[in-house]
Amino acid sequence: MSGSIRLFVDSPLAEGVTVPLAQKQAHYLGTVMRRGAGSEVVVFNGRDGEFSARIASMSRGAGTLELGGLLRPQAAPPPLTLAFALLKRDATDLVVEKATELGATRIAPLITARTQAGHVNLDRLRAIAIEAAEQCERLEVPEVCAPEKLERFLMNWPKEQPLVAAIERGADRPIGGYSSGAATGYMVGPEGGFAPVELDLLRRCSFVVPASLGPRILRAETACIAGLALLGAASGAEMPPPALS
């Protein structure tokens, strides 16, 4: 059902069940997309796979879907956390959107010495991640975490799991030499880079692996996107499983 409208729903999915639409989803389908009863859509919830569905009922601000057959079974993606120093709103929105498209399973905003912002609207960011997952045909939506200080993030990071850190102007191994199968986390600092005391902290963490994105100084949002793309390319990122016949 390539090209069909895809919706994320937070309800159990199985063939034949009826699923309620959220008010925004009913508005989107009925008013924006001008779909009514009988129209076909595709739904997923990040747990049960992807199903065909049809609109069973539609009224102002409400509606239901009747689920058809399973299109794609759920498959657990390789874990990959993007940790990045929190940026201004538009840049943070872009990072969340593109990180979802590029396969991050967890998005962790950080507070560092040179962080440009200190507050986020988590509901907004999670909505951006859901919309990106709907559009790029992911079967799951990445977890979007509340911002936390760099020191606490590092303290809680699993010590046995490599965390690749993009370090500007370093002579470190190029990030394309790693794979998302070997590195379960990728970290990007703020505009202006990590403060000296933070670089010292990173060097003391045995699980942190410094890596280079090349000779140019990139904007933080560019470094997030480029690094995730390189990690995915190096690992031979898997295509989504085909639809069931």
Tell whether the model's pLDDT for residue 236 goes beyond 50: no
Give the pLDDT band (50/70/90) at residue 142: very high
Tell whether the model's pLDDT for residue 183 goes beyond 70: no
pLDDT at residue 167, rounded to an integer: 81
Mean pLDDT of 232-241: 52
Percent residues over pLDDT 70 in the chain: 87
Domain map (residue ranges) of the chain: 6-72, 81-234
CATH classification code of 6-72? 2.40.240.20
Cβ within 8 Å of residue 144, ≥6 positions away: 96, 107, 122, 125, 126, 129
Give the pLDDT band (50/70/90) at residue 76: confident
- Record the pTM: 0.88
Distance CA 178, CA 191 (A): 24
Distance CA 83, CA 80 (A): 10
Residue 20 vs residue 180, higher pLDDT:
20
The pairing of beta strand 62-72 with beta strand 81-85: unpaired
Distance CA 33, CA 226 (A): 33
Q: Read off the DSSP letter of residue 28.
A: I
Tell whether the model's pLDDT for residue 232 goes beyond 70: yes
pLDDT at residue 220, rounded to an integer: 93
Residue 186 vs residue 178, higher pLDDT:
186
Lowest average pLDDT, out of 80-94, 119-133, 141-155, 211-225, goes to: 211-225
Distance CA 207, CA 184 (A): 11
pLDDT at residue 237, rounded to an integer: 46
21-30 pLDDT per residue, tens: 999 999 999 8
* Count of beta carbons in the 10 Å neighbourhood of residue 207: 14
CATH classification code of 81-234? 3.40.1280.10
Per the prediction, the chain carries an average pLDDT of: 88
